[in-house]
Structure 1
Amino acid sequence: MELHLTARQTGLWQRLMALTREQLMGLVMQIESTGTIERPTLTTLAQQLTLDDPLPDDRLSQRILSALALAQSSAGLAMSFASSWQVEDAILTFGTPQQRQRYGGQPAVFGLAALPEQVTASSTVKATPVTAGWQLSGTVKAVLNVTQATEYLVLAQTPPDAAGAFIIAADKPGVTVGQPIAPLGLHGLTIADIQLTDVPVTAADQIGQLGQGQRVMQRAQSLGQLFAGAITAGIWQHATDQTRQLALTEQPPLTALAPAMAITAALQTSVYNAAQQADDERSFTDAAQLAAVFASQNALAPFKILMPLIGDLAYTQHSPLVALQNDVATLPLIIGTDAQLALTFAATSLNDEVVDVPTAGPQTAPEHLVVADLHRVVKRLKLTKDVPVNVGSIATAKRVVALGRGRWNPQYCFKPNN
């Protein structure tokens, strides 16, 4: 890896690669054959991947390096940890000291909803105030790590119109897990809806202030996009390594491998730089979204380069490249399609006022307006409800607003006698 790593990060990377070579090989074979990961296994691995310091200056850079390394063995395992780390980040970023101590004292596996759309519309959970706090009721769609998680992070709407983020225990009364989804790739990652029925929570379970729920989930969404980019880069690296081992010639043409290696290095650099921005407490949302868009748009590009190098094996059920293709093909279920990612980027970064307008159907050219159309525009936009509008007649106007010098000199502004 040609990233500019610190001495501590270099040591971490070496330990991660040793872990994938020496301990994960058997586990990965089991995951691929059964499609499941047991909770004790994840908890044991979580302990090995626990940060030495819960709040190091480079904690997200470390997590990105971990995702890159894990994805080179199992993309499903990497995504399972990435989802848990999104919740870990929410607790470390928005939680109270008591919450950091409570959840950071021992390795935990967290679950949260996949966020393919803007989080403002992703929650159907309602929080009803009670004496001790709230009761949560509703459905949380497509929760990741649903069967392995000990806690879930959920978004709920509290009266009158405030969003709150809450941590709830998976074994709390009123929590029901739906039928798991069997994804095409990312084996081992469990996805299902959960139904909440009058699940009690208190202020101790609330992450951030009341009304900060959308902000908490938006950061989780950006971090999820960043992890998805890292996992995609890990998959590409794995595909390149497999091709070099299985190529029809002992030394495949460098001209064929170079494009796949270049696109992988570009994505690795992109996600690592975004993680550094987050560690420096700078805004990393734009960088994370662009990395996710780049990864999504180019998801299959390396495979088109690499598959011809292994001949007929590329088209059999034993081809490792087919399995890796399925992994990247499943990622839109977690972070959204190209169109959804582009829409999110436009809405949050480009401030495009028309991004929520459906693109289906014929496109209408913008209407050309002149000053004489002012009264029509005012009425159409319902800028006034109780004052009749009749632009063009000073005699009937109740108020007159003058532009030009009048905005600075009161003598040019007047009110008709009537």
Structure 2
Amino acid sequence: LDIDPTRVEMGWIMDFCAQSLRNIVIGIDGVGGNKDGFMMKSKFAIAVSSEVMAILSVATGLKDMRERMGKIVVAYNKKGKPVTTEDLQVAGAMTAWMVQALNPSLMQTLEGQPVIVHAGPFANIAIGQSSIIADQIGLKLADYHVTESGFGADIGFEKFWNLKCRFSGLVPDCAVIVATIRALKCHGGAPVPVPGKAMPEEYGSENVGWVERGCANLLHHIENVRKAGISPVVCINAFHTDTDAEINMVRVLAEAAGARVALSRHWEKGGDGAIEFAETVAAACEEKTEFKFLYELDQPVKDRIELIAKEVYGADGVEYSPEANASLARIQKDPELSKLGLCMVKTHLSLSDNPSIKGVPTGWKLKIREVLTYGGARFIVPVAGAISLMPGTGSNPAFRRVDVDTETGKVQGVF
């Protein structure tokens, strides 16, 4: 196969946060290609970011999964041609390992509603969708089927819109944007919560000004949904700290932007608290949709990246690292790879690639530092900003508070 050891794309996967494994060197004693392998740079990523997880999400059946498994690009040879799992004769075994995983899990809510749980790719570092197979099953079993896209309409919904719908051939009747007063306050100027620390006390008192300013972010998401030709529904996910004035501000601004709005108190009242929300969704589903993709697959890859950056994120343009430019030049020359979809990797904490910038950032450019090729999942993966496919532990990890009572054997500190 004449693999170029400096062009091995595939790394290792584990379901664990370990920042020290993001960039590693393997085969240290394998110089010259002896039994210890070749010495080369490698990497670890978390399971939810893996191409195999993405394939589980977008496969339409076992045959489709088998074909996709064989198209995973492992490396490039010394002539610059892709080397796939099929070339390595491992695609069949990989599919065999995943046969049972292809079957969704049927679970239920506390009130007995059926829930199909299947696939787990994050939307910031992967495609962020529950599986197409789960959707196919749900549509056969119920009058209404709700499917999840992770995080906001800038990443989860964008990938649902331009990737999942393209792969599945399904078109949604409406799209729900879930908003909380707390999140809107955060985008409107309130102190940013710090993971592992108590919620700032400002979030427990009324501040309509913060909510109003934060709604600019919500309106941006509404506009993203409308660009797809889908009816948007804003679900105000209410908590006991929210005030009527804050809730009313969201309702007024979202309705003025053309969205249906429903208050949902399911956190407090369970299903009874979500009746208004359910009725609003049902009404929205009766509207005619004019669904359209943001881009076509025959457009140049850079043009498509710029479309997403400008139209979905609100950027002024895109800047590429030398490594990203080199990867895109290689991809664009390949008649098959250049027609793959785009699965952007970007922080979920901001519309921009900088997680600290809230609201609706202006005057910025999306920075693409590297571009990966997921031939089996059928998309190209531009990685923006400093986000990593292998998360790290926080400065005050939860394991510090976990222990065991040696007298009773009970674990302490987990909750």
Shorter-normalised TM range: under 0.3
TM-score for both structures, normalised by structure 2: 0.23
TM-score for both structures, normalised by structure 1: 0.23
Q: Which has the higher helix share?
A: 1
| Greater Rg over alpha carbons, structure | 1
